[in-house]
Amino acid sequence: MRYYLSLFIALPLFVSCATIEPQTGPQTPTTNADTAEPAPIVQIPPQTETKTQVIGDLWDRIRAGFNIGTFEHPRIQQQLDWYARHPDYMDRVTERAGPYMHYIVEAMKANDIPLELALLPIVESAFKPFAYSHGRASGIWQFIPSTGRRYGLSQNWWYDGRRDVYASTQAAISLLLNLKRDFNGDWLLALAAYNSGSGTVHRAIRRGKYKNAATDFWSLNLPKETRDYVPKLLALKQLIEKPEQYGLHIQPIPDRPYFERVDVGSQIDLAVAAEMAAIDLDELYELNPGYNRWATAPNGPNYLLLPLDKSTQFKDRLAQLPEQDRIRWVRHQIKSGETISTIATKYNTSIETIKRVNHMRGNMLRVGHALTIPVASKSPSTYSLSANQRKQALQNTPHTGVKLTHIVQQGDTFWELAQQHKVGVRQLARWNGMAPRDPLTPGQKLVIWSRTGLSSTSDDHNDVAAPPRRTITQRIGYRVRPGDSLARISQKFKVSIQQLKSWNKSRLRADSLLRPGQSLTLFVDIMGQSGL
């Protein structure tokens, strides 16, 4: 899903995102709610536990809070059959939901929302905190960027509130309350709008009224993904309500808070925070997936979600640690040719952070002057769930084809690159931790597992031999000179004639003769060229 709510709280609030499980799960649609009305103030329940509290199974509370109604429909049964055939899927989802579900249930009860809706993250993301869809939706609630911003979820180099479980849950609740009001209390229509946007649902209702047809959810002519979306949730409700009827055992989740929200008060290195809380750094990231880098955001939010049994120890140690010691600092002397961008990249920090720390108004640097820069206390690989490391892991996962690194040029698009290398657009985006609609920036590096020329038995002479393994592959434009031939150009740039033909199908004549002044496109290994 992707919406954003006006949070009045003290925080900024595939594969496919929509794909719950790429190999075994049903396709989950992308949510595209579009209401812009402000919602009521969301009630935020405290996450505390009393010593006398009796701990039961959270699923029992969820069942007791079901309040949407019972429905029978072939579309529900179809989804039920799938879930019932994949008990291992429900086991994985339950395990991932464990740290978050109690907070979600408490937040929904505090805002008088039926607890069927606590199951929505299963439909949206399978409770994967780092889920990112081809529709640019992110987090367990799957907000798209614009909806996230509209509902107070900040998105910057350091932090993405759409993945912040605490903040995005508040945003999702506000959105759901808006949609309920927009559709006069009809939760099925509200859920459909959560997926495809209120405008889509209202238009379907108007079409139905124009034809004097029924306008309930089951009768509306909605996009296929939305027609499947609501039945998925209702199927999950029936499954959770009577798992034994479907031969399933739902793993219990303790009915008690899992985490405490701790106000840190300043930026802190996440590796330092994990050591202070005596937890694994990956566990800290999984509870705080909104943080993109090696530290919390310098301009906030300044809080961490910590396991309840570790929070007291952390707060005691934090009180003894001065703010200046929560981040490691280095002094960098500016050298000739350096820019603020290259320095930021070197130290894995942002341009804005360097400028803020050093009280800079512009980007001008003076050779010999020094900059104070915040840096990670550990090596980059230690922060294995940071945005950079997750992206590298995606890029380094072996795939069919030849691995290339492409430097994005002005005018490049995912579609053109995918066509060039005979791969899918979504595949190409996924390999680089992106969505197909994400913008490409000149100079950006993309990993491409090129499948050009893999079919060696083909008689089609347009098939291109697989290019050699190379370090950096760059697209360049070449102007044909007098005396040039395909053979001479292929030798000069260390590429094959067949590659030249494939890259320039629309430019070359049938006889492959070249004309002086003619433009050609080449993909060359810039690390292996000596005259470029």
Helix axes 198-210, 187-196, angle to 10 degrees: 120
At 529, is the secondary structure helix, strand, or coil? coil
Q: How many whole angstroms separate alpha carbon 349 and alpha carbon 357?
A: 11
SS3 letters across 336-405: CCCCHHHHHHHCCCCHHHHHHHCCCCCCCCCCCCEEEEEECCCCHHHCCCCHHHHHHHHHHCCCCCEEEE
| Residue 244 DSSP symbol | G
The DSSP result for 46-74, as a single string, is: -----TTPPP-BHHHHHHHT--S-----H
- Run of H or E including 178: helix 165-182
Distance from CA of residue 196 to its chain's centroid? Answer: 18
Q: In this structure, which topology does domain 398-525 adopt according to CATH?
A: Membrane-bound Lytic Murein Transglycosylase D; Chain A (3.10.350)
Instruction: Return the structure tokens found at 368.
Output: 């010999």
> Is the model's pLDDT at 35 over the cut of 60?
no
Give pLDDT tens digits for 71-129.
Answer: 999 999 999 999 989 889 999 999 999 999 999 999 999 999 999 999 999 999 999 99
Q: How many whole angstroms separate alpha carbon 360 and alpha carbon 351?
A: 10
Contact indicator for 21, 126 with CB cutoff of 8 Å: yes
Instruction: Return the structure tokens found at 84.
Output: 């019932």
| Residue 21 DSSP symbol | S
User: How much is the pLDDT for 8?
Assistant: 32
Q: In this structure, which topology does domain 58-246 adopt according to CATH?
A: Lysozyme (1.10.530)
- Run of H or E including 473: strand 473-479
Give pLDDT tens digits for 410-426.
Answer: 878 888 888 888 888 88
> Is the model's pLDDT at 151 over the cut of 60?
yes
User: How much is the pLDDT for 225?
Assistant: 92
Mean pLDDT of the chain: 83
At 459, is the secondary structure helix, strand, or coil? coil
Q: How many whole angstroms separate alpha carbon 39 and alpha carbon 344?
A: 39
Q: Which listed residue (106, 124, 260, 286) is catalytic?
A: 124
pLDDT interval class at 458 (50, 70, 90): very low
Contact indicator for 103, 166 with CB cutoff of 8 Å: yes
At 479, is the secondary structure helix, strand, or coil? strand
Domains 328-379 and 398-525 share a fold: yes
**Ramachandran quadrant class, 34 (left: phi over 0; alpha: psi -120 to 50; beta: rest):** alpha
Contact indicator for 77, 102 with CB cutoff of 8 Å: no
Contact indicator for 260, 288 with CB cutoff of 8 Å: no
Q: How many whole angstroms separate alpha carbon 218 and alpha carbon 191?
A: 12
> Is the model's pLDDT at 132 over the cut of 90?
no
Contact indicator for 155, 149 with CB cutoff of 8 Å: yes
Q: How many whole angstroms separate alpha carbon 404 and alpha carbon 423?
A: 13
CATH code assigned to 328-379:
3.10.350.10
Q: How many whole angstroms separate alpha carbon 108 and alpha carbon 101?
A: 11
Query: Which residue, among 523, 247, 239, has the nearest Cα to 407 in the 3D structure?
Result: 523
Q: How many whole angstroms separate alpha carbon 104 and alpha carbon 59?
A: 12
Residue type at position 13: L
Query: Which pTM value belongs to this model?
Result: 0.72
Residue type at position 9: I
User: How much is the pLDDT for 40?
Assistant: 55
Phi, psi of 376 (to 5 degrees): -70, 150
Q: How many whole angstroms separate alpha carbon 66 and alpha carbon 114?
A: 6
In the chain, where the domains are located: 58-246, 259-324, 328-379, 398-525
Instruction: Return the structure tokens found at 172.
Output: 């999702």
The residue with greater pLDDT, 430 or 336, is 336
Residue type at position 171: A
Contacts of 206 (CB under 8 A, 6+ apart): none
Query: Which residue, among 193, 142, 120, has the nearest Cα to 17 in the 3D structure?
Result: 142
Query: Which residue, among 47, 290, 37, 301, has the nearest Cα to 174 in the 3D structure?
Result: 37
User: How much is the pLDDT for 355?
Assistant: 92
Phi, psi of 62 (to 5 degrees): -65, -45
Phi, psi of 63 (to 5 degrees): -60, -40
User: How much is the pLDDT for 216?
Assistant: 93
> Is the model's pLDDT at 502 over the cut of 90?
no
- b/e 301-315 (16+ beta carbons within 10 angstroms → b): bbbbbbbeebbeebb
Instruction: Return the structure tokens found at 520.
Output: 């050609």
95 catalytically annotated? no
Distance from CA of residue 64 to its chain's centroid? Answer: 33
The residue with greater pLDDT, 503 or 75, is 75
Give pLDDT tens digits for 281-321.
Answer: 999 999 999 999 999 999 889 999 999 999 999 999 999 99
Contact indicator for 518, 507 with CB cutoff of 8 Å: yes
Phi, psi of 405 (to 5 degrees): -115, 120
User: How much is the pLDDT for 456?
Assistant: 36
Q: How many whole angstroms separate alpha carbon 100 and alpha carbon 129?
A: 10
Q: What does the pLDDT average to over 210-231?
A: 94
- Run of H or E including 524: strand 519-525
Distance from CA of residue 269 to its chain's centroid? Answer: 22
